Amino acid sequence: MSDKARKLFDALDLNADGSLTRAEVISALRSKGPTLAARGDLPFWGLGDADDSSALFDQADRNGDAVLSFEEFAREVDRRFGWR
């Protein structure tokens, strides 16, 4: 798992509980996404609307529990953004 995935996960974990909900991912990407992209912590093309964020969440949530662990999240963003 990449350091970039960890940094992005921590930035999106709004309540700092060590997991991500769909609402957190959507809200954090909308509010923090442009800043994260400007700092190089997220590809600009990785920014999208709520539907894109929701789709990322669905692909990452492999066990279907509606919560993303760091491992689930990192596996998906490392693959999607080429951070391996």
Q: What is the pLDDT of residue 53?
A: 87
Angle at 22 between CA 17 and CA 23, to 5 degrees: 80
Note whether 65 and 22 are within 8 A (CB).
no
Q: Which residues of the chain have pLDDT under 50?
A: none
Structural domains of the chain, count = 1
Q: What is the pLDDT of residue 45?
A: 78
Report if pTM > 0.75.
yes
Range of the domain at 57: 3-81
Q: What CATH number is attached to the domain comprising 43?
A: 1.10.238.10
Beta partners for residue 68, in sequence order: 20
Q: What is the pLDDT of residue 49?
A: 83
Per the listing, tokens 């491992």 go with: 71
